[in-house]
Chains A and B, each alone.
Chain A
């Protein structure tokens, strides 16, 4: 039974279609991430759920009731904005008290509740400070407390970690996840950072050009992308154009690299069908000589990007550029300009039809 239901949401600005028939159901307590490049429609969708944008067509339902006609303040949805949008003239605890104040909770009781919520987000004792006296991470927590204190039916997070530095961001990812789980609040998280999406979500919804490309669990999105856009957008990928030579024998053919065996595909395939083959760079092995039992291809190394613990080796195999992720310890066997062998298992080849 879905809790949040988006049905055929379309949003047009003049001739520009920002959202094109977006439908999605989210379960109660689920943590769903909207992922996509800027302008893909993820924030527009969020704004339509929040009520700040009106959909040109389609409905939004929460708990079985349409909220499409409600004004933002009638929707009972908590939002954390990218810049936190804390009220500068109120202290942290007054910020958190504000939604309770708007709901007619008395000042004494409301402030106590606000203090409790601040403790939950790890800001016990910071209530009397004004936003400008708090660090970015602390402001973030206040914004989160404020969006949660009134027990919203939905929590929307609009790229809330974008302004934080890397260490703090990772810390906040864990914190947000912990708080979300402890309260069980249904959450929509918007980001363009794929590692954030991978680590935090129950489900990722990939947006592109106003459409949902794919909505699935993080690992499904990673290992079984339904479109080449998703495969290219999430993680690193080798995308090889190919033709199915035998659907029954599970083989495909690329003119430069020859025959590929693949283990499976999500869609029914037919002989002669044009497809794209996905092989993740970390599923490819680099060696001096061919390895038995694997599909081997010769590659000339062009560039080695060394990250210390691992390295990215880019080279040409036939007419195809291949990217290989190797452990830092293994990269010493090869130099730029040399020829080597790359190999993979059929299980590492995934067929994308779109």
Chain B
């Protein structure tokens, strides 16, 4: 039984990791289409990615749209979360529901809705249109992350700060914000990734001018199966890997740094 469990575990890991094992070598492939195993290896497709405006423009579009989406999302979500978590008001549960609605509705349905709605506003095929649509999709995710953080926040900390002479503004700046910072960062990160990753809505409304990277990859795989896709996948994978590993590196470096000496008998 134990052996069976172990092998099941190993198989699941292999199954999950398999695409990476295939994609990473393919990015170095010399074949002119996606092919595995690669017939030979070179860096040509990396050069192609970093020099071809057909790829670079969607990359910049994606970064721009995801950044703007993140900023807009946080501007909306931070006050909304404080209101919904900390205050009681009429229609609160309805507001709660509406915040999370985009999460429940399939993206394709949302996409069709945005297509006609933004079309009327003349925002289809524009950066702003995609940013607005992505913000709608990012808000519930950022809200979920941040509200979980805020619910766990001990309000006595704010009371203590106030009793110690901090005005409500100072309390927010010195106590609430720093303590919530990890939650805010994660919430913003989720908003960013959601936008950067989003394909369905982008296909509907981004058009040629505001085409995002996932949309361009989708177009490419349908038309020519350009191995540059493998390059992008590999780059994204390593970016994420660095993102995940960075905190461990930082804390490892910190713990190596000399500590201030502690006086004897401190325990």
A350 proximal to B (CB < 8 A): no
B166 proximal to A (CB < 8 A): yes
Count of B interface residues, CB-CB < 8 Å:
24
B156 touches A98 (CB 8 A): no
Shortest Cβ distance from B159 into A: residue: A52
Bitwise, A71-99 to B at CB < 8 A (1) or not (0) is: 11101111101010111110000000011
Bitwise, A109-145 to B at CB < 8 A (1) or not (0) is: 0000000000000001110100000000000000000
Contacting residues, chain B, for A71 (C-beta < 8 A): 162, 167-168
A78 touches B174 (CB 8 A): no
B163 touches A79 (CB 8 A): yes
Count of A interface residues, CB-CB < 8 Å:
30
For chain B, residues 154 to 208, give those with C-beta under 8 angstroms from any C-beta of chain A. Answer: 154, 156-157, 159-168, 170-171, 174-175, 178-179
A79 touches B266 (CB 8 A): no
A77 touches B266 (CB 8 A): no
A77 touches B163 (CB 8 A): yes
A102 touches B170 (CB 8 A): yes
* Complex Cα–Cα for A120 and B171 (A): 27
A85 touches B159 (CB 8 A): yes
* Complex Cα–Cα for A237 and B178 (A): 52
Shortest Cβ distance from A146 into B: residue: B164
Contacting residues, chain A, for B179 (C-beta < 8 A): 87-89
A150 proximal to B (CB < 8 A): yes
Q: Which one, A50, A87, A88, contacts B163 given CB within 8 A? A: A50
Interface centre among B154, B159, B179 (most CB of A within 10 A): B159
B165 touches A103 (CB 8 A): yes
A150 touches B165 (CB 8 A): yes
- Minimal beta-carbon separation of B34 from chain A (angstroms): 48
CB-CB under 8 A for A99 and B165, given A125-B262, A125-B266, A126-B266: yes
B39 proximal to A (CB < 8 A): no
B243 proximal to A (CB < 8 A): no
Contacting residues, chain A, for B160 (C-beta < 8 A): 79, 81, 85-87, 146
Bitwise, A48-75 to B at CB < 8 A (1) or not (0) is: 0011100000000000000000011101
Residues of A within 8 A of B (CB): 50-52, 71-73, 75-79, 81, 83, 85-89, 98-99, 102-103, 124-126, 128, 146-147, 150, 156
Would you mind naming 13 contact pairs between A and B with Cβ atoms under 8 Å apart? A77-B163, A78-B163, A79-B159, A79-B160, A85-B154, A85-B156, A87-B161, A87-B179, A89-B178, A98-B174, A102-B164, A125-B262, A147-B163
